[in-house]
A and B are shown apart, each in its own frame.
Chain A
Amino acid sequence: MSISPSSLNDVDAADSDLVRRAQAGDARAFDSLVTRYRGKVYGMCYHLVQNEQDAWDLAQEAFIKAWRALASFKGDASFYTWIYRIAHNSTYDWLRKRKIEGAGEFDDERQAGVAAGAETVPKGEHRPDEALKNRELGTRIQQAIDQLSPDHRTAILLREVEGFSYEEIAQIMESSMGTVMSRLFYARKKLQELLKDAYENA
């Protein structure tokens, strides 16, 4: 497949430039934004639905909705925050529908086991023995995260893993700063209880 000069340039293009071009109808610029954020959006959907196929579909739906709503994107927030918000809303709607249809649980405290392949993605390169240890630790952390409600899980991941501020998390989750703080508090308490020995012995 040939790569056009414009797509090469897009690798380094700022989000704001790509958004501006996409707003003018440039589908290739939007494709670059998709490539840039698809892994993160898919990851966020996956953390919420814990199913690869559904997460894949929801992430795709989020980008299509974003394309259709591009005209309303004013750049007050970053594109990254904005696409997260769309993905979060789509995924929550999906979870609510599943709850209504009785096809899945939407409990505050999930006790279900971890789905096959649901371990966290290990970060960085490790020696083989370390890699095994990290995989085990990763699975344990994922199991702990899975016991949180979707709200608590999203809040803690956005804060601790993605480094979003309270204000940004509130925008993404369409909630108040007080609610964000409360969700973070309870998520941390639960994870402390489940993982204390893991980080104290590390």
Chain B
Amino acid sequence: MKTPDDQLLARWLDGELSADERPRFEAMLEADPALREEANSLRQLGNLLRANVDMERPLPNADFFNSQIQEQIAADQRADQRVKSTAAAGTGTSWLSWLRSPWIFAGAAAALAVGMLVMPSAQPGEETKVLSFYTPKSGIEASTYHNKDAGATVLVLNGLEAIPSDRDIVGINVHHSETDAQVATTTLYDDQGGVLLVMAKDSASKPMVLGRSAH
């Protein structure tokens, strides 16, 4: 059981006592052999750990480690650039603008297998706060980051399946509710005009897939 003396001893060892507390505690140490012995034991333990343990470990394939990070950064920057171009083309900065970018088609086509984004309403240009993600399929990770220049929040989905060749998306339609502009249905079409995927939010703003064509 932790006693007040244990707490003081730990804080003394860790250099966390105030200038007032330290002399008082050191006087206690002077007068209490058992406390002094415990202090000595803990100090030796700390010395042993510091002398034999290093938090830093040699990283295997360190150059490859860095280069993969740089590749991911480059991919992010390319995605940012596309978002900026889309924004500059006048498609607006609403939370649905990401759906209009060509790069998202890969994500959208495979969205059957992933949790879709939940975007609470935000003013144009403001960062959309995504409080949580749900990806029912294991191995898929979702994250977002805000691109200030484009005034858009970018959804990144890692681990998606490749787009089947017969699922080329050539059309997209975003239909807003007449009563609530934030409620919208997004439909993806193939080159035959067939519906590949319909995505929407329910009344509780939870994402749902309404349907898809049976290819």
Residues on A facing B (Cβ under 8 Å): 25, 27, 30-31, 34-35, 38-40, 42-44, 46-47, 52, 56, 59-60, 63-65, 67-69, 71, 101, 120-123, 134, 137-138, 141-142, 145, 156-162, 165-166, 181-182, 184-185, 188, 191-192, 195-196, 198-200, 202
10 A-B pairs with C-beta separation under 8 A = A27-B70, A31-B70, A44-B55, A59-B59, A120-B52, A121-B56, A160-B49, A160-B50, A162-B55, A192-B42
Residue of A nearest to B69 (CB): A63
Residues on B facing A (Cβ under 8 Å): 2, 6-7, 10-11, 14-16, 41-42, 44-62, 65-66, 68-70, 72-74, 76-77, 138, 143, 145-146, 148
Contacts of B55 in A (CB 8 A): 40, 43-44, 47, 157-158, 161-162
Rounded to whole Å, the gap between the CB of A144 and the closest CB of chain B is 10
Contacts of B73 in A (CB 8 A): 27, 30, 64, 67
Residue of B nearest to A137 (CB): B52
Number of A-B pairs whose CB atoms are under 8 Å?
A: 137
Known interface pairs A38-B59, A165-B16, A192-B42. Does A43 touch B54 (Cβ–Cβ under 8 Å)?
yes
Q: Contact at A199–B10, with CB atoms within 8 Å?
A: no
- Secondary structure class of chain A's binding surface, majority of residues: helix
Q: 18 new A-B pairs (CB below 8 Å) besides A30-B69, A39-B59?
A: A27-B70, A39-B57, A43-B55, A47-B55, A56-B59, A64-B69, A67-B73, A67-B76, A68-B76, A120-B53, A138-B52, A142-B53, A161-B49, A161-B50, A181-B7, A185-B2, A191-B45, A191-B49
Contacts of A47 in B (CB 8 A): 55
Contacts of A134 in B (CB 8 A): 52
3 tightest Cβ-Cβ pairs between the two chains A and B: A43-B57, A39-B56, A68-B145
- Secondary structure class of chain B's binding surface, majority of residues: helix
Q: Contact at B14–A159, with CB atoms within 8 Å?
A: yes
Q: Contact at A56–B48, with CB atoms within 8 Å?
A: no
Contacts of A71 in B (CB 8 A): 146, 148
Q: Contact at A123–B52, with CB atoms within 8 Å?
A: yes
Q: Contact at A56–B10, with CB atoms within 8 Å?
A: no
Q: Contact at B66–A31, with CB atoms within 8 Å?
A: yes
Whole-angstrom distance between the alpha carbons of A182 and B6 in the complex? 10
Q: Contact at A185–B16, with CB atoms within 8 Å?
A: no
